[in-house]
Amino acid sequence: MTPKLLSRDQLVARYGRPREGTVVFTNGCFDLLHPGHVAYLEEARSLGDALVVGVNTDASVRRLKGPTRPLVPELDRARVLAGLGAVDAVTLFDEDTPAELIAALRPDVLAKGGDYTPDRIVGRDTVEADGGRVRVIPFLPGYSTSDLVRRIQSLPEAS
């Protein structure tokens, strides 16, 4: 197991309040990691001193995206994210939204991808009530997990 993969309790003990430095939080399924994810995570990391990533468990992904997802198991997704230099810590969450995790961690910055508007970002109220800020990071054009899945499904079967 990687030292960057933490339980919720370990995460809050290490990155929760009180703390020194600025903690940035983001979350997602991160089912098939692609260059758009990497650019997004690097940009999120540039907003503070540490980047914490919440990853939906397999059960949570199925509830949100349907029975055919995720394609990659939760611990594999978390391990790949933990291997990125921009990511300081990864934790899994089983809820449909990261609201409870955000309330426990109380990050200084909450970052989400360009498909969100600030009023739709879960945890925004919690972060802003603590004096933190919310940032929407634009997508890297041409990259989408859903598009990647469709392209893979349209490939002719190997013989």
CATH code for the domain in which residue 57 is found = 3.40.50.620
C-beta of residue 78 within 8 angstroms of C-beta of residue 5 = yes
**Residue 52 placed within a domain:** yes
Q: 2 lies in a domain?
A: no
Block residue for tokens 């054009």 = 141
In a domain, 3, yes or no: no
Q: Is 117's pLDDT higher than 80? A: yes
Question: Residue 27 is part of which domain span?
Answer: 8-153
Average pLDDT over residues 84-91: 98
- pLDDT reading at 37 higher than 80: yes
pLDDT-based confidence at residue 54 (cuts at 50, 70, 90): very high
In a domain, 158, yes or no: no
- Beta carbons within 8 Å of 8's beta carbon, 6+ residues apart: 91, 93, 101, 104
pTM, two decimal places:
0.91
Instruction: Indicate the number of domains in the chain.
Output: 1
| CB neighbours of residue 136 within 10 Å | 16
Q: What's the pLDDT at 108?
A: 98
Tell me what pLDDT residue 143 has.
Answer: 66
Distance CA 144, CA 41 (A): 14
Confidence of residue 1 (pLDDT cuts 50, 70, 90): low
> Is 159 among the domain residues?
no
